[in-house]
Structure 1
Amino acid sequence: MSENPPDGTSSGDPAQSGWQSVIDDMAATADEYRERGWTALELHPGDSVLVDSERRTGLDVVLPGPEYEDLESLTEDCAFVDVDVFRAETANMIYLLVVEADPDSETAVLVPAYYDPGSGQSKLESIRSDGDFRLFCRRLDDDYVEFAHDDVAPFLPEAMRGDG
């Protein structure tokens, strides 16, 4: 993902244009996987927020029911052992495209997400000190699929990456 939008983009809401860039990058990345013969599931969260509670600590993305069911079905048969994280930062927002991959079955799940590092500072500190990053893909009834990562740096703002 590029950190700055190309010249000539609309002057609309920067958060919205940043999110659209993530969605566009997700579609292009999914196409690249498919061209290599992989199954690629693109997810479209309705909300994305950092969480830190007794139940969940990490990044929580809320999915539409049919997409959640597709994800749940894929995770029954796949072991997602690789991850690529593409990150872009603005003054107020961190945008992520997380690609969870199972090389054995040639399956990738693409999860776009975002969060406000300013309002989530204490949650980010918890994540960094715990030393693992959890991505919760859930539906409204609180069922979720969890992806866990022991390298938190790719998910954090640049200012927090070096000294964890």
Structure 2
Amino acid sequence: MSENPAAETPSNGPAQSGWESVIEDMAATAEEYRDDGWTALELHPGDSVLVDSEMRTGLDVVLPDPEYEELESLTADCVFADVDVFRAEHGRMIYLLVVEKDPDRRTAVFVPAYYDPSSGQSKLETIDSDGTFTLFCRRLNDDYVEFVHDDVGPFLPAALSDGQ
């Protein structure tokens, strides 16, 4: 336990609570898909961050190696042509549950993510102006699977996606 009360940030409680809610929603939604006969892969990123570099622009989620390998194997046989995005804004954070779907193979990949729009405003503006949102699911060695979306609105903060 910390002896320095200033080092304890009360805002972590709601942030942690928001993330736990996303994970719980993911588990419940994935179970509904399974009950309906779908293959559902739930991912559990260790980190999630907006990126804008020469290499990648979008949202980067870092996966444990076993989950990444399962995702890589699954995406080799599927065409993810549909997506559902569930977005929640809590305090400073944006929480996403992205469901990448291959309706023909009845396969869905559930990607929970989060980001702080205040620390990534220029990255969000680049994504908005480019009109493409790319979700990079990667492992630490920088291998990645990407999901590219032409409708950026569901991924962006409401104020930005509403054109305000």
The TM-score with structure 2 as length reference comes to 0.92
Shift of 1:147: 0.1
| Equivalent residue pairs, number | 154
Shift of 1:12: 6.9
1:74 pairs with 2:74: yes
Structure 1 residue ranges (4+ consecutive) displaced by more than 6 angstroms after TM superposition: none
Q: 2:152 maps to which residue?
A: 152
Q: 1:57 maps to which residue?
A: 57
Greater fraction helix = 2
> Which ranges of structure 2 fall in alignment gaps of 5 or more residues?
1-10
Show the 5 A alignment for 1:19-98: 19-98=19-98
Shift of 1:91: 2.2
Structure showing greater radius of gyration is 2
The TM-score with structure 1 as length reference comes to 0.92
Alpha-carbon distance between aligned partners in 2 of 1:12 and 1:43, rounded to the nearest angstrom: 22
Report sequence identity in percent.
Answer: 78
Q: 2:121 maps to which residue?
A: 121
Alpha-carbon distance between aligned partners in 2 of 1:153 and 1:135, rounded to the nearest angstrom: 14
Shift of 1:33: 0.4
Q: 1:143 maps to which residue?
A: 143
CA RMSD of aligned residues (A): 1.2
Alpha-carbon distance between aligned partners in 2 of 1:131 and 1:63, rounded to the nearest angstrom: 26
Alpha-carbon distance between aligned partners in 1 of 2:79 and 2:17, rounded to the nearest angstrom: 33
User: Letter of the aligned partner of 1:82 in structure 2?
Assistant: D
